[in-house]
Amino acid sequence: MQPRDFLKEVTAIPGLSGNERKVAEYIRDKWEPLTDEVSITPTNSVIARKKGKGPSVLFAAHLDEIGLMVSRIEDDGSLRMVGVGGVDPRILPSMRVSVLAKSGRLTGVIGAKAPHLLTEDERNKNYTMGELHIDLGMDASKVKELVQVGDEVQLEYRFTELLNNRVAVKTCDDRACVAILYRAMQLLQDMRHDADIYFLATCQEEVGAFGAWQTSYQLFPDYAVALDVCHAATPDADPTRTHDLTAVVASAGPYLNPVLRRKLMEVAEEQNIKVQTSVVPRYTATDADEIAISRSGIPTILIELPLKYMHTSVELIDTHVIDEAARLLACFAQEINASWEDELWT
């Protein structure tokens, strides 16, 4: 399966933070033929291992997604909602959504008062979550029969293929990086490596990186590489906070190990892989933070995939960068050997 096809399928599967089992099972099934062992943790992270006799390295990307949860059912059958993870209410009006009810998936639309009905004061403000509702097109009695407070709501799924290797779809944050891991596994089938490689798809990153906490403590590898998304250049965005869409980013900062990052950049140069630099002066707000401080500390670096329109249903990436990032990971894994330990601490 090509990474683009993997991404198309994996982004369609519900996996809101805290309830990722279905997407975890999909990832497990796709990773299993490419690794020596694979399992799902009790909290729905996926751990795969490609055995080696050398130092252990962990490659981690999160599998959970942002979404909504039903907080109240109105007398007319409209559903009120709260966010699961960082959901900006400004992206929601007119969106089609799926309510993941016990009775099955229910399609609805997110509505608000029409502009004609807004007061002058309301027109000058952005929507708040409390001003929006989900309409299932059903009588209130039927809605209350099928839906419960606490039911999850998945954002609209549309896989839009654009020109120049680009696609737009929800949940590229961070399943596009899970696709990078998948492609790296494929490449490693034809490569020799001493490293004992762990591939990890973490749960609950969007609500606190709890999967990274749990699994990095459990595995305690010698080295780690976290993968997440960053902001690609976008009209009117601060250029100091964005990057070119067409090349992977290797972050630098106090949470990230400089020796390990230098090793990564040497591999990128040898393989003629373009890598951009992002300076992160404090914590990274990714799984890298939790991995790096696990137990007595794990030397960790961060690779980021530039993405437009983060935390929307049209997150846009260049799929060529998935292939290049996977090639970088595979070649990096191939280079790891026992001598790195001396370099790391001297």
pLDDT range class, residue 120, cuts 50, 70, 90: confident
Cα 26-60-156 angle, rounded to 5 deg? 50
The 10s digit of each residue's pLDDT in 121-169 is: 777 788 899 999 999 999 999 999 999 999 999 999 999 999 999 999 9
Predicted pLDDT at 161: 97
The 10s digit of each residue's pLDDT in 15-37 is: 999 999 999 999 999 999 999 99
Q: Give the global pTM.
A: 0.95
pLDDT above 70: percentage of residues in the chain: 99
Sheet holding 46-50, edge to edge: 37-40, 46-50, 196-202, 56-62, 223-231, 300-307, 248-252, 275-279
For 81-96, give one letter per residue: b (16+ CB within 10 A) or e: bebbbebebebbeebe
Domains detected in the chain: 3-65+158-345 (3.40.630.10), 67-154 (2.40.30.40)
pLDDT above 90: percentage of residues in the chain: 90
